Amino acid sequence: MSKGIWSAASGAISQIASLEAAANDIANAGTAGYRATQPVFRQAMVRAQGSGREGRIQTQSVRYARVDGAAMDMTPAEMKSTGRPLDVALRGEGYFVVKTSDGQERYTRVGSLQLTKDGTISTPSGEAFLGKDGRPLKIPAGGDVTVSGDGTLSRKGEAMGQLRVVRFADPGRLERDGTNRYRATQASGAPTAAEVPVESGTLEGSNVTPVRGMLQVLATTRAFEASERALAAFKDADSRAISIMKG
């Protein structure tokens, strides 16, 4: 069997991963704070052994592509006005910090603040936003809450806490944990405190557009079809070689 068939097969498999990522991006084109995903591919080489003429062992190098993780496109997205005072967006590189139900810190660009019955400032799904002191933000009941440009939450002019904002050395290597929530990785680096302007009454949209997503799907589909044609060509060549050897 021709060694080239393995390279063609690995190319087809890689394009399937790319197509899945593009389809997921399109599905989240309207999701606040969503970031496009780009699979990262790496070329690998293995050595295969087989029997040649007169029983001699032959060694061949086979190169193939493999999926080596995913990187996110952290290009800022369009800011959309909501008119809701507790919707906030970051005008620059940075992330709000939330704490999950199991006590883990996660990071998000979506500042859709919700005030729970016990006064906790949380995400719509219930994760608490953390303040600069590293503890969940809580606001006593009574009166409207406003958010200033530095992320300070106030009621009737009295400061009640400040949103914690962080940044990463390589935000593209954050790992997705849900649709628009991320976890730090060794590749992204540890979070460090950041001073980023906070805009009230605004949410950041997705940096995926349907047109861009469809173009990616089209390009990936064509690459997959090219790999399929290569597979068919190698298969046909192997069949002919076998026929000649038998004949």
102-134 confidence digits (pLDDT tens)? 999 999 999 999 999 889 999 999 999 999 999
In this model, does residue 50 exceed pLDDT 60?
no
Q: 120 and 189: one domain? A: yes
pLDDT, residue 45, reads: 46
Residues 84 and 174 in one domain: yes
Q: Are residues 59 and 20 in the same domain?
A: yes
Same domain, 10 and 86: no
pLDDT at residue number 212: 73
Give the Cβ contact number of residue 32 at 10 Å.
22
Examine the domain organization and report whether 104 and 45 are in the same domain. Answer: no
Query: Do 26 and 49 lie in a common domain?
Result: yes
Residue 76 has pLDDT above 70, yes or no: yes
What is the count of structural domains for the chain? 2
Domain check: are 49 and 14 in the same one?
yes
Please state whether 54 falls in left (phi above 0), alpha (psi between -120 and 50) or beta.
Answer: left
| CA-closest candidate to residue 84, choices 117, 124, 119, 120 | 124
User: Could you tell me if 91 and 30 lie in one domain?
Assistant: no
Q: What's the average model confidence in pLDDT over 172-194?
A: 92
More confidently predicted of 66 and 148: 148
Closest CA to 164 of 196, 190, 141: 196
Domain containing 180 equals 79-204
Q: Which two tokens stand for residue 239?
A: 């069949």
How far CA 196 is from CA of 91, 104, 109, 159, 163, in Å, comes to 6, 23, 12, 18, 11
- At 169, give phi and psi (nearest 5°): -65, -40
Q: Cα(140)–Cα(102) distance, rounded to whole angstroms?
A: 24
